[in-house]
Amino acid sequence: MAEDLAWGNRSSVSEFILLGFSSQLQMQLMLFVAFLVLYLLTLLGNGLIITLIVTDSRLHTPMYFLLANLSCLDISYTTTTVPQMLIHLLSKRKTISYARCAAQMYIFLSLGITECILYAVMAYDRYVAICHPLRYAIIMSRPSCIKLVAGSWTCGFLFAMMHTGFTMRLPYCGPNKINHFFCEVPAILKLACADTRVNEVVDFVLGVILLMTPLSLIVVSYCFIFVAVLKIHSTEGKFKAFSTCSSHITVVTLFYSAAMFMYMRPASSYKPDRDKKFSLFYNVISALLNPFIYSLRNKDVKGALIKLVCKE
């Protein structure tokens, strides 16, 4: 309660109303069932990946340590928004307090930025594995992996603090209806009763830095990987090298394409009904698909799953 009052003093709006996807009861029930299934599958898939990596000693390698962190991020990412959306689909009262809206925005941005950076770390891991295989164990040692992951999480939470601070410092004096299913920056800025041009510039610059910098590192890493693979003489060797990277390239493409569309464009192009679907894609669908993409293309993960099932 004290937290709500502290945030509320900065604005005359004490709570927001999340409009979600539909106001029709029948459609809300259908969406509830659909999103509940998606959420449970996301928890099951990513939870299974984490369980396999923790329990199978063959998966105690840098690549799978990073994958386990990605799965943990995906679970946290979806849990930040989906449970609240499910509650609102069954409730007549679809409100969220000012402080909780700010908290949701901060946690969501923290996890999203961390995931952006982690994808770059995963690309670097593949670069070292393919281009410097003899030094891989030294460069990607356990302490190095822990530092890289810890750095990703730290950067995510620090940059999110800046992003959230610039957004929530604006006065919000009404209206308080957010045409979205959670408190995302572009939707919130539309409700500010002040000039948001500075915020839009800051958000765009942060979007470029936080999306394009990791993406550039990913592209550079795969350029080196591509050159190294071309030097491999055997077809089998080339196929094996490319297969270890294909899953990562797929999930990076899915995540970055939707995130860049949302955060690297003029505010004037914001269209709530369209943008909610893009947010749903990189918030829920991407997290749902990641474990399936990695498991379907990975013999080690499938082997660990068979071993776990047989043990049971």
Q: Which of helix, strand or coil describes residue 61?
A: coil
Euclidean distance between CA atoms 174 and 268, whole angstroms: 20
**Between 168 and 1, the higher pLDDT residue:** 168
| DSSP output for 121-167 | HHHHHHHHHHH-GGGHHHHT-HHHHHHHHHHHHHHHHHHHHHHHHHH
Q: Which of 123, 125, 119 is nearest to 144 (CA)?
A: 125
Please state, in angstroms and rounded to a whole number, the distance separating the CA atoms of residues 109 and 138.
33
* pLDDT at residue 36 tops 90: yes
Asked if 74 and 47 count as a contact pair (C-beta separation under 8 A), the reply is no
Backbone angles phi, psi at 176, to 5 degrees: -120, 20
The residue-averaged pLDDT of 184-199 equals 84
When mean pLDDT is compared across 9-23, 39-53, 171-185, 281-295, the lowest value belongs to 9-23
Distance between CA atoms of residues 46 and 54, nearest Å: 12
* Closest to 114 (Cα-Cα) out of 54, 79, 144, 72: 72
Task: Give Rg (Cα) of the chain.
Answer: 21
Q: What is the DSSP letter of 17?
A: E
pLDDT at residue 280 is higher than 50: yes
Kindly state the DSSP code that residue 120 receives in the 8-state scheme.
H
**By three-state DSSP, how is residue 16 classified?**
strand
Q: CB-based contacts of 144: which residues, under 8 Å, 6+ apart? A: none
According to DSSP, the β-strands at 15-18 and 95-97 are: antiparallel
Query: Whose CA is closest to 227, among 94, 95, 131?
Result: 131
How high is the pLDDT of residue 204? Answer: 82
Looking at the predicted structure, is the pLDDT value of residue 283 above 80? yes
CB-CB neighbours of 107 under 10 Å: 18
Distances in Å between the Cα of 29 and the Cα atoms of 18, 19, 38, 86, 90 are 17, 15, 14, 10, 7
Contact 71, 50 (CB under 8 A): yes
244 vs 202, higher pLDDT: 202
pLDDT of 267 > 70? The answer is no
* Distance (Å, whole) CA 59 – CA 65: 8
Q: Are 20 and 94 in contact (CB under 8 A)?
A: yes
Position 75: which residue type?
I
Range in 13-22, 68-77, 130-139 with the lowest mean pLDDT: 13-22
Most confident of 87-91, 136-140, 280-284: 136-140
Share of the chain above pLDDT 70, in %: 93
Residue type, 128: V
Residue 52 main-chain phi, psi, to 5 deg: -65, -45
